[in-house]
Amino acid sequence: MLCGSGLSLWMTAAAMSRSLPKTIALKVVESESKPAEDAFYGHILPPAAYRFHLSIGLSEPELLLNTGSTFAYGTYLHNWAGTDRSWVQAFHQPLLVLEGVPLAKLIQLDPSLSLQDTLISAQAAVGGVFAHPPEDHKHPLSRAEYGYAFDPKELTALYKAVSLTRSIQLIEARIDHVERNSTDITSVTLSDGQRLSADLFIDCSGSSAILLSPSKIEAKGSSTMQALISRITDTPVGKAAQTIKSGDYGWQSEITLRSGARRMTVFHEDSRQIAAAAHGTDPDASITLSLGCRENAWAGNCVAIGQAACVVEPLTTAPMKLLLRDIQRLMDLFPVSTDMRIEAREYNRVFQDDVCHAEIFNQAHFVMTTLPNGPYWQAASAQKQTSKLTRKLTQYESRGHLVAYDNEPFDDVDWAILHDGMGRQPRRRDPLASLAEPAKVAARLEQRQKSIQSVLSKMPPHSIYVSKFLSYLHRKHSQNG
Amino acid sequence: MTAAALAYKFHRTKTSITLVESEQIGTVGVGEATLPHIRFFNQALGIDEVTFMRATNATFKLGIEFCDWGQIGDRYVHPFGDFGEPLQGVDFHHLWNQLRQLGLKTPLDEYSYPIVAAKSARFHHPDPDLSKIESTFGYAYQFDSSLYAKFLRTFAEKHGVTRIEGKIVEVDQNAETGHVETLRLESGQTIGGELFIDCSGFRGLLIEQSLKTGYQDWSEWLPCNRAVAVQSENVGTLLPYTRSTARTAGWQWRIPLQHRTGNGHVYCSHFISDDEARSQLLDGIEGALTTDPKQLYFMTGRRNQFWKKNVVAIGLSAGFLEPLESTSIHFIQEGITALLELFPDTAFATSDQEEYNERMGLNFERVRDFLLLHYVATERDDSEMWRHFRNLTLPESLQSKIEAWMHRGLVPSYEFSVFLPPSWIAVFMGQRKLPLAGDPRMGRIPLDDIRQYAENLHSSIRNSVDRAPDHLTFIQGTGSSSKTVPESL
């Protein structure tokens, strides 16, 4: 039985309805939607969503035809934290190795060089152009990866439609009471008086975690975050990237869809007034969420998915990556019997790792010598740095070494881009990187940048590409009836 | 290996490398079989495969055959490759196990290209077209490690390494920092240096005898502490795989090279005498002996620190896990790779050492669990050693893996591990540890589709292997045979 609403509910339902055998009966109890909370998953689907969509039988044309989604090469952080640092946290294939040395280390040899200049997805995002990466691996654009900018409400509707093409019992009701024994949930009582039981309960109820929450599992609350959210209808499609600007209040993200822009301003409660001014338009919704995660996301016969298990700030794609991973993990560990202790143990082990690794990526955005004075930034800088992040930062700052842990949601490309974007400079050159002949390296990098610029000059603006691609899809769709 | 790798990286720089080697001190010579990663080591140094194979009498290796491990009479191969491919997201071993429960008699091994090729004594390089069944494997080598050492010594010297023949009799350390400063040889010569790589074997001349690093004894889990090794003439077909046969107090290896076969018996002295161990080994050898049996002593485990001050221990001086899965040379390679990534400057940043030690420690720990799996995933209880393992309390990291497997055929995945899920599946399945349940997603796939998929895979592998050349012909055809072409670099 799946309970809850919104993105996490229908993404999970779509995956389960597609992957599990028909002998497993699925019940979905959909409560009143809280679409504003879903904004805390962010507005960018990372490239991993492509695979998820394939697994639920959803093609890219179907996604684009049924939602106002556009393409995204990543997130453009503009003058992050009041500094002069701007960069695209781009989606990109593994970085090249030139002259036997990883590109990220070569870049560190010369402070005037930027990794951004060598990333075609970052350059395309800044230039406002887009094209699908070709299959020809020699083509510079084949190194780019992309995700989608989306509206949570539109996407939820699509996932719901996908789910309901298969046999699911849908009940629209609120959960009034959860009955339990010492370890498990035995049944739930709904607002319409029905009492339902199940072998496994999936909690997709958002941060309230109505199924999991009372089971003596406390969220590791760290801070409370406020957000204002607006839909701005008459904004044309812009860059293939989310833009994030920061101010003393916190930060503001904006993406453009075919149905206009979505703006979110994230701030500390004490800065509401200046945040509202920065938001610049009347908000459609105002939300408050406590950040933090539960010690265990699977307890007894209940699994919490998405925000029911963990609420992470949507500064990066961390919340959406975690949601996708929650669902994949659940599918991989779907119980084989009513004794779920082994599944729960493995699920929680990987869940804890994933959350930790996603959180340190977010946290690394705030490790700076000076941060703006506002309470948002002070709260962020007051977070205790985990040993895993300390190890990553120590190694990078010492010699540009990228430490990696098992199966991180953000890989070494993401970390290299982040460090470079934030202007972190290793204190010393890597001895092996220093062996590369400077002239050869410079020539290779120049050649690479030229080939990127050559490709970019032939790519259409994102808005035109989207428009033409949609026209093509509509034509094809109508031809196929 | 270390001298060659460092020489290759630094030969056009001001960094000078000195190799102090003593002919008086023999090498252990364990670890003649390797893992596929060794190819990348050779490639990184620009070493041509044919030249290397001629020089080291190497053969190709597609995996390891394990005999008598699950039960006496059992045989399975741990291949360098997967078992089948997932169908609709469900791993092949689940599909096979379901078909087996419904009466399928074909063993899992027959759905692995490298296993079928290995058992047929056939070999070819993997096809670069990843859509073909002939691409679904990796390979390693079986070679004469002392010849490989000589080959790499020459390579290192050609790339600027200064080799000094001599026995180290004294190590001078800085009184303040404790860093090693000079080595004094028996000849009276002293050699200074900034970074010292300790490749002195078990005794750890610098890392242990000078720096007193300390050793973590893992005999609790891997109690084998001795080995006896002997070489014999080749008999019969030249096999592209290593064989490991479980014995009453350990296990016996058989490694076929071009010119001879390496044999050895790794055992635990608590459960068998040296004489009995030698006798068991000699009884199990097919060809005539070409050397006298050589006795080896060791303690499984690792140094507390692999890198301390200005000394990095690589190879046996860093630690030793029995070569059941051919990891000895691999650990050398891992050590070299990590050292190059974290190569220090003269300031010797603590962070470099910490990172190196963290990384190598994880390597050792994960390999330890995989080796221990072979001893505990078994039905054998016919000797004191096997009964010892039955009652052993396992590391939590291994215990939970075994439970996950038995419960539902799941191998928890770790990115940083030499042995990935297919290796674990091979051992579990090969040693009679069949999961009690499978992936529930399998229920969506019609049984006929699973049957058809398995049949197609089986026949595709069989047909393809039948067209492949036999192992010896391939070696000769590529000019890799040491008998047909004189040794050269």
DSSP assignment of A320-367 equals HHHHHHHHHHHHHT--SSS--HHHHHHHHHHHHHHHHHHHHHHHGGG-
Please give the Cα distance from A466 to A440 (Å, whole number): 39
Identify the CATH number of the domain in which residue A159 sits: 3.50.50.60
- Asked, for residue A145, whether it belongs to a domain, the answer is no
Q: What is the mean pLDDT of residues B191-219?
A: 96
pLDDT of residue A177: 95
A273 domain residue, yes or no: no
Q: Which of B13, B407, B441 sits opposite A342 (nearest CB)?
A: B407
Percent above pLDDT 70 for chain B: 97
Residue A221 has pLDDT above 60, yes or no: no
In this prediction, residue B416 carries a pLDDT of 86
What distance in Å separates the CA atoms of residue B354 and residue A50, rounded to the nearest whole number? 38
Give me the sign of the Cα torsion angle A164, A169, A173, A176. negative
Residue of B351, B354, B447 to mutate when probing chain A, most A C-beta within 10 A: B351
Share of residues in chain A with pLDDT > 90 (%): 82
pLDDT digit string (tens) for B49-70? 999 999 999 999 999 999 999 9
- Catalytic (active site) residue B61: yes
Q: What is the reported pLDDT for B248?
A: 97
The pLDDT of residue B28 is above 80? no
User: Does B355 sit within 8 Å of A401, measured CB to CB?
Assistant: yes
Is residue B163 in a domain?
Answer: no
- Does a structural domain hold residue A367? no
Q: Which of B185, B183, B177 is nearest to B310 (CA)?
A: B177
Instruction: List chain B residues with CB under 8 Å of A336.
Output: 407-408, 437-438, 440
The b-or-e profile of B373-395 (16+ CB within 10 A means b, else e) is: bbbbbbebeeeebbebbeeeebb
Considering only the beta carbons, identify the residue of B9, B355, B444 that sits closest to A432.
B9
Instruction: Point out the catalytic residue in the list B61, B119, B401, B433.
Output: B61
**What is the residue-averaged pLDDT of chain A?**
94
Please return the burial class of A167, using the count of CB atoms within 10 Å of its CB with bins 0-12, 13-18 and 19+. Answer: exposed
Does A406 sit within 8 Å of B415, measured CB to CB? yes
- Using alpha carbons, select from A348, A337, A247 the residue that is nearest to residue A295: A348
- Residues B420, B413: Cα–Cα separation, whole Å: 7
Residue B444 has its nearest CB partner, among A21, A398, A405, at A21
Judge whether residue B410 has pLDDT over 90.
yes
Q: Measuring CA to CA, how many Å separate A2 from each of A284, A345, B349?
A: 28, 21, 52
How many domains does chain A divide into?
Answer: 1
Query: Does residue A196 fall inside a structural domain?
Result: yes
Cβ neighbours of B440 (radius 10 Å): 21
Give A433 to chain B, closest Cα distance, Å.
Answer: 10
Tell me how far CA of residue A122 lies from CA of A76, A86, A147, B219, in angstroms: 8, 11, 13, 53
- Confidence bin at B414 (pLDDT 50/70/90): confident
Sheet arrangement for strand B307-308:
B196-198, B311-313, B307-308
Q: What is the C-alpha R_g of chain B? A: 23
pLDDT of the residue at A91: 98
pLDDT at position A101 is 85
Handedness of CA A27, A33, A34, A40 (dihedral sign): positive
Q: Which of A395, A405, A408, A412 to mutate to test the interface with B (most CBs of B within 10 A)?
A: A395
pLDDT at position B150, please?
93
List pLDDT tens digits, range B315-351. Answer: 999 999 999 999 999 999 999 999 999 999 989 999 9
Among chain B residues, CA nearest to A99: B9
Supply A225's token pair.
């975050």
The boundaries of the domain holding residue A39 are 2-71+150-219+293-355
Alpha carbons within 13 A on the beta-carbon side of A479: 6
The pLDDT value recorded for residue B489 is 33
The answer to whether the Cβ–Cβ distance between B441 and A331 falls below 8 Å is yes
Tens of pLDDT, residues A1-15? 999 999 999 999 999
CB distance A267 to A249 below 8 Å:
yes
Evaluate whether residue A11 is within a structural domain: yes
Q: Which of A19, A55, A345 sits opposite B400 (nearest CB)?
A: A345
Contacting residues of B for A405, CB less than 8 Å apart: 415-416
Residue A220 scores a pLDDT above 60:
no
CB pairs under 8 A between A and B: 85
The pLDDT score that the predictor gives to residue B466 is 97
Q: What pLDDT is stored for residue A479 in this prediction?
A: 80
The DSSP secondary-structure symbol of A173 reads -
Sequence-separated (6 or more) residues with CB below 8 Å from residue A12: A2, A202, A204, A305, A306, A326, A327, A330
Residue A311's nearest CA partner among A280, A355, A253, A277 is A355
**CA-based nearest residue in chain B for residue A331:** B441
List CB contacts of A35: < 8 A, sequence separation 6 or more: A6, A152, A153, A156, A285
Specify the pLDDT at position B26.
63
Using the beta-carbon criterion (under 8 Å), do A20 and B410 form an inter-chain contact?
no
Looking at A213-227, B29-43, B384-398, which range is the least confident one?
Answer: A213-227
End-to-end CA distance of chain B: 16
- Bridge partners of residue A286, in order along the sequence: A228
Residue A396 domain-assigned? no
Secondary structure of B399-444 in the HEC alphabet?
Answer: HHHHHHHHHHCCCCCCCCCCCCHHHHHHHHHHCCCCCCCCCHHHHH
Q: What is the band of B485 on the pLDDT scale with cuts at 50, 70, 90? A: very low
What does pLDDT average to over chain B?
Answer: 94
Does the pLDDT at position B486 exceed 50? no
The pLDDT of residue A218: 57
Question: Across the strands, what pairs with B220?
Answer: none
Count Cα atoms within 13 angstroms, Cβ side, for B163.
16
- The residue with tokens 């190709």 is B60
Range of the domain at B266: 226-297
Q: Which residue of A has its CA nearest to B345?
A: A431
Q: Do A333 and B416 touch (CB under 8 A)?
A: no
Least confident interval from A82-91, A436-445, B66-75 = A436-445
Q: Given the structure tokens 């364990």, which residue do they identify?
A: B30
Give the pLDDT mean for A172-195: 95
- What is the average pLDDT across A378-390? 92
The answer to whether B351 contacts chain A (CB < 8 Å) is yes
| Residue B146 within a domain | no
- Determine phi and psi for A23, rounding to 5 degrees: -70, -15
Instruction: Establish if B255 belongs to a structural domain.
Output: yes
ipTM tops the 0.90 cut: yes
pLDDT at A350 over 90: yes
pLDDT at site B29: 57
Please state the domain count of chain B.
1
Q: Calculate mean pLDDT across residues B189-209.
A: 96
**Percent of chain A whose predicted confidence (pLDDT) is above 70:** 98
Taking the C-alpha atoms of residue A242 and residue A75, their distance in angstroms, rounded to an integer, is 5
- Reported as a single tens digit per residue, the pLDDT across B224-269 is 999 999 999 999 999 999 999 999 999 999 999 999 999 999 999 9
The pair of structure tokens assigned to B159 is 């790339």
Do residues B367 and B321 touch, judged by C-beta distance below 8 A?
Answer: yes
What's the CA gap between A332 and B440, in Å, rounded?
9
Residue B273 lies in a domain: yes
CB atoms closer than 10 angstroms to residue A49: 22
